Amino acid sequence: MSKFEPTKLSKVKRGRNRADYDKSTVFNILDSHFVCHVPYVFEDTPITIPMAYARSGETIYLHGATGNRMLKSLALLEKMSITVTHLDGLVLARSAFHHSVNYRSAVVFGTPRIVAEEAEKKYAFEMLLEHMAQGRSKEVRETSPNELKITKVLALDITEASAKIREGAPVDDDEDYKLKLWAGVVPIKHLYEKEITDPNLAFDLASPPSVNKLTKNDQ
C-alpha cells in the first residue's frame, strides 16, 4: 500500500486540509531530518525527549545506554509514537491572530521492541550513522563487542502515520487585506557549514566524502 490508513490515533482533525497520509510524504519528512521527539511517562509525569533516529523501510531505530529509563519504559508498551518537525518559515500576517509558521511534520505510531540479535543491532548502528552522514559507516572503525553490549537499541515497527504540512503566504481576514501593513513569509533553511577538524587529529587528513557531501552547500 502506498498510503497509511488514517486511524483514531493518526487521523488529523485540526487543519485536516493539511494532512497527508502518503508513505512517500511521511518517509521524505523522516529521511530529511535527524532528530525526533519521543514521549513517554515516568512516575506519572509525561516527558518528551529529543533523540537521534534512523529509518529503514518501515522501521525506526532509536538507541541509548542499557540503563536508559526511557527505552526501558517504551519497551513495555504495546504502542508508542515519535514526532519529526521541519520549520520552513515564519508566516507574518497583518494581524497577530493569523501569524503562523510553514512546516512539515510527521507523527509515527508503531510497536516498540528491543533489538536482541547482534546482526540487527549492528545494522541499526550503521543506519544511524548513514542517516547522519551518507557514507560515514565506511569511514569509521567497527563497533566493538563492548560498545554493542552497553548500548540498547529500540526498534519501532511502523503501523500508522500521518504528515501535516503548512506552506504558502499568510491567510488574513478579508477586511485586513486593505490595511497598509506588511505581511509575508521569512523562509528558514537548514545549512551545513564548513567542517571544523578535530584539533587532536594526529594526521594531516582531508575531510572524507561523507563530510564533503554535507558541506558542499557551503563551498
pLDDT of residue 141: 94
pLDDT of residue 43: 85
pLDDT of residue 183: 98
Q: Which pairing describes strands 80-92 and 45-52: parallel, antiparallel, or unpaired?
A: unpaired
Q: Which three cell numbers stand for residue 64?
A: 541509548
Indicate the pTM of the whole model.
0.90
CA–CA distance, 64 with 180 (Å, rounded to integer): 53
pLDDT of residue 217: 59
pLDDT of residue 72: 86
Write down the architecture of domain 16-173+183-218 according to CATH. Answer: Roll (2.30)
pLDDT of residue 219: 43
Dihedral through CA 29, CA 110, CA 55, CA 113, nearest 10? Answer: 160
Q: Which three cell numbers stand for residue 127?
A: 543506519
CA–CA distance, 179 with 41 (Å, rounded to integer): 48
pLDDT of residue 14: 86
Structural element, H or E, at residue 211: helix 209-215
Each domain of the chain, given as residue ranges in start order, spans 16-173+183-218
* Distance from the Cα of residue 178 to its chain's centroid: 40
In the predicted model, residues of the chain with pLDDT beneath 70 are 217-219
